[in-house]
Structure 1
Amino acid sequence: MSTAAPASPRRRVPIWDNARAACILLVVLGHAIQRLTYDSDIALGLYFLIYAFHMPAFAIISGYFSKSDPPNRRQMTRVLTDIVLPYVIFEALWTATKFLVEGQANPNITQPSWTLWFLLALAIFRLVLPYLSLLRWPLAWTVVISLTVGYLPNVDSTLSLSRTLGLLPFFTLGWWLSHHKILERRNILHRRRVSVRVAAAAVFVVAGFCAWFFVDELEAMNLRQWLFYDENYASIGGTEWWAGGVRLLLMVVALVLSVAFVALIPRGQYRWTSIGTYTMYIYLLHSFVLYPFRESGVLRGLEPTWLFLPLVLVLSVVVTVALASPLVRRVFRPLVEPRPGWLFADPSLTRRDDRRSDPTGSRRPQGGPKPPKATDATPSA
């Protein structure tokens, strides 16, 4: 009589944490250089390049690690504790900050402050995914939804609905790739040919050159508003019937750049890989760090660009690394990862365990200061 060998645990593919770390750095950098774009065409071109794909890429990654099955009680609880409660907490903090600094505030939980829109988007993504998965062509339907809402002036930034529906195809694409195991079957996550890396780098070189060379034309067409997926077409100059085609083109560009981005991401485990497991700390806290720089005007009129743009890049890297540090996580954990057992009928649903997942899908242990070198890669809600 023989016994079967225990199944070996699935090991985490480091590329996903590396991709999250790179994405969150782009988020910080995009916000850091925003004031520079008023005085520098190079900074504005870089801004266009970053915003063309970084949030769609984040949505794809989040979708890849999301389940379409009806959520169980613990998963439903985590949507509340990992997404909804941090949104409420940080919305209150932003209201207090604006009141103290600017002397005025307009408390309105239905209008997300600055970066908080993505938390609401994640919550809505998780809510609609089980229904989308029932459809025969979920990707096609979400593209139709994204293009259609741009024609509807009543779909706006209230509860982040316009951005959420605009980016829904990317989240659905991530889920679809995971659900059908497209990347695993083609061994894309482990194998990376030199020719693919060269082609991906060429894509970014061409995109970056176009963003810089045509910067005046892109600014004239109000491209930054188009890239936010936040306004209806007519309000940003798209009054023609074919305005939805502009969004469709931008979605194609975002997809191409996202693919090239993933192709360039290192596949190995590095010291900075762990940053990708704590993206929510960086996402929620970096705006408070950058707020004084943005509002004081210190980032306006900085010349020469070749000196100050790299300095802002270095600042962005420092902020990203610092906000993922154990000390910052320990101090701000009650705000970023609240676990109010008193709020729930079954407090045990809020207990911390080693299976906790970041809202973007990154599994990591809750207690230790460092994530494991190899962890479960199973998609989680």
Structure 2
Amino acid sequence: MDNTLPREGETYFLNLRFILILTVCIANAAEPLIRQMDGLHALYSWIYTYHMPLFVFVTGYFAKGGLGGPEGRKALLQIGLQYIIFQSLYSLLDVVLFKAPDIRHSFFVPYLMLWFLASHMAWRLLMLSMRRFAPAAQCSISLILGVLVGYLPLDGTWLSISRTFVYLPFFVIGYHFSFAAFKRRVTPLKKIGAAALSAALLAVIAFHGIRLPEGWLFGSQTYLQLGHQEWYAGAYRLALYGLQSASGAAFLGWIPFRHGRLTDLGRRTLYVFLLHGIIVRLAAALGLYGYIRHPAGAAVLLAGAVLMACVLAQPFVKKAAYRVIEPQVGWILRLERIALGKT
């Protein structure tokens, strides 16, 4: 298998990664108001039909550049340190300042969006364990696991076990994705058509008042937790996979192929991801959402979310937060060598 990342493919996926982190910021900023404003609820639901599957897809694509060997091991250690650092930081801030409802403070229950770090470690390990199978078999296995995990009699948020397996198929597909084949099949007309379909889905959700089941879109709960005890509950997840795949494919029509400003910003989405939650939670704790009662206020909120993402992706933020966001793991490797009696 070719584990190199074509430069043009890297550009496209960096563009996609930044646009996706914009939607993450918009969705998380809008969430406190979706029960009060139908427009925000429609936008939120539309975003959730594609943004988490596509983010996992992108993560799988970039993982092919360093899944195994020393680079893969280093990546796993770094993700583990990121999880420990930010699970501790967010939990401390929540106890002292945010006081968000229904939050359990435990390293075994990731704090809100930190599930992605816990699942990322698991996706890499699962991908390594499946490497002896052909890509088609890996996709099939991951799909079966994604359906079966919903039947487990446990809390789906524990170690992010539900989301790990629910989104595993998208990681596997991203890992095996051929950008060259994709580029050959995409024409300007197809891109326009895909973007139009994506916009049409938003319009249908908004104008028909469709309320998609958020519990299913989140992927964090078992079927029992979602109120479905039927033996065929897995069929609902298969149907959701169809919706997410179609919505995600259509959303790709919005993504430019060319190198530009988005590409540079896409290199620092990790900083946006790990830091934006502090700003959103702080705004909620300070009661700022209480001042947003009209569409004009909602528009300002969305503009602020976009600005927040752009600012957090700036080089000066990386310079200030690099040691925390991308912790060094060399010291762990050195301790391991000493423990094993190696020089």
* TM-score, structure 1 normalization: 0.80
Q: CA separation in 1, counterparts of 2:147 and 2:161?
A: 13
Residue number in structure 2 paired with 1:90: 86
What's the CA shift string for 1:283-308, capped at 9, x where partnerless? 00000011122334432573322x12
Q: CA separation in 2, counterparts of 1:163 and 1:131?
A: 18
Residues 275 and 312, structure 2, Cα contact 8 Å, conserved in 1: yes
Residue number in structure 2 paired with 1:172: 172
Q: CA separation in 1, counterparts of 2:182 and 2:171?
A: 21
Residue number in structure 2 paired with 1:218: 211
> Which one has a larger percent helix, Structure 1 or Structure 2?
2
Q: CA separation in 1, counterparts of 2:139 and 2:333?
A: 35
**Shift in Å at residue 65 of structure 1?**
2.1
**Shift in Å at residue 79 of structure 1?**
1.5
Residue number in structure 2 paired with 1:230: 220
Q: CA separation in 1, counterparts of 2:267 and 2:111?
A: 24
Gaps of 5+ in 1: 1-8, 349-381
Q: CA separation in 2, counterparts of 1:153 and 1:92?
A: 28
Aligned match for 1:193, one of 179, 187, 195: 187
After TM superposition, the structure 1 = structure 2 runs for residues 1-381 of structure 1, keeping only pairs within 5 Å, are: 11-13=7-9, 14-67=11-64, 71-81=68-78, 83-101=79-97, 107-136=105-134, 137-154=137-154, 156-177=156-177, 181=178, 183-188=179-184, 192-215=186-209, 218=211, 223-300=213-290, 302-305=292-295, 307-345=296-334
State the SS of the aligned residue for 2:224. Answer: helix
State the SS of the aligned residue for 1:233. Answer: coil
Q: Which amino acid aligns with 2:236?
A: V
What's the CA shift string for 1:22-41, capped at 9, x where partnerless? 01111111100001201011
Gaps of 5+ in 2: 338-343
* TM-score, structure 2 normalization: 0.88
Distance 1:71 1:59, change over 3 A: same
Identity of aligned residues (%): 27
**Shift in Å at residue 63 of structure 1?**
1.0
Shifted more, 230-239 versus 33-42: the winner is: 230-239
Residues 35 and 300, structure 1, Cα contact 8 Å, conserved in 2: no
Residues 56 and 167, structure 1, Cα contact 8 Å, conserved in 2: yes
Q: Which amino acid aligns with 2:73?
A: M
Q: Which amino acid aligns with 1:241?
A: W
**Shift in Å at residue 227 of structure 1?**
0.5
